[in-house]
């Protein structure tokens, strides 16, 4: 099965960050976001990209970067993903 595209990951990522109090560490978010996509198989979760990085976590990280660019997640502090007011408005739609 193919992994979800980046755009499809954005809303679940925002929802999970908000559910964790508005900020969370990435490693705590990965399994929570994965739970939104029951079609992902164990084989999908083991896929890597060039350089050996996990393909799924890389895709979640790119979704996070897109949300930062839209102003829905804060860029800093490093190691903590924090939702913005704009991000809260998006999940309230």
Q: pLDDT (tens digit, 9 = 90+) per residue, 47-60?
A: 999 999 999 999 99
Per-residue pLDDT, 10: 98
Per-residue pLDDT, 67: 98
For residues 3 and 88, give the distance between their C-alpha atoms in angstroms, rounded to a whole number: 26
Structural domain that includes position 77: 6-91
Residue 52 placed within a domain: yes
Residue 85 placed within a domain: yes
Number of domains in the chain: 1
Q: Is residue 45's pLDDT more than 90?
A: yes
Under the banding of pLDDT at 50, 70 and 90, the label for residue 1 is: low
Per-residue pLDDT, 2: 85
The token duo for 60 is: 């979640």
Per-residue pLDDT, 16: 98
Backbone angles phi, psi at 76, to 5 degrees: -120, 160
- Please name the residue that has the structure tokens 């704009």: 86
Residue 1 placed within a domain: no
């Amino acid at each position: 099965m193919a992994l979800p595209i980046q755009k499809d990951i954005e809303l679940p990522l925002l929802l999970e960050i908000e559910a964790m109090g508005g900020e969370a560490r990435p490693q705590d978010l990965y399994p929570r976001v994965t739970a939104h996509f029951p079609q992902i198989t164990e084989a999908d979760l083991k896929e890597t990209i060039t350089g050996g990085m996990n393909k799924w976590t890389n895709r979640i990280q790119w979704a996070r970067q897109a949300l930062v660019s839209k102003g829905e997640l804060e860029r800093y502090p490093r190691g903590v993903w924090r939702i913005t007011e704009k991000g809260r408005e998006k999940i309230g739609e």
